[in-house]
Amino acid sequence: MLDYVFLLVFVCLPSALITGYIAHMNNRSLWRWMLFGLCVPFVAVFVTMVVTYFDQKRAARNNPDSDAR
């Protein structure tokens, strides 16, 4: 039982918080991405970064006059 608590607190919870933070900073649903980060720790962080990258790339392509940095 203690192993599951350790896994939840030290692995899943930080992953959920990081995933939620990245998603929220890019105008995505905070709670949905936090749940995804809680269920699939560490993988969700990388998925969130890839989704954010493609969103920014698409926004730069749709609006070429803006300075996409």
DSSP string of the chain, one letter each residue: -HHHHHHIIIIIHHHHHHHHHHHHHTT--HHHHHHHHHHSTTHHHHHHHHHHHHHHHHHHHH-TTS---
pLDDT of 18 reads: 95
Per-residue pLDDT of the chain (69 residues; tens, 9 = 90+): 888 888 888 888 999 999 999 999 999 999 999 999 999 988 999 999 999 999 999 988 998 776 655
pLDDT of 2 reads: 83
- Residue spans per domain, the chain: 1-57
Q: Which residue has the tokens 């998603």?
A: 23
pLDDT of 68 reads: 52
- The model's pTM is 0.78
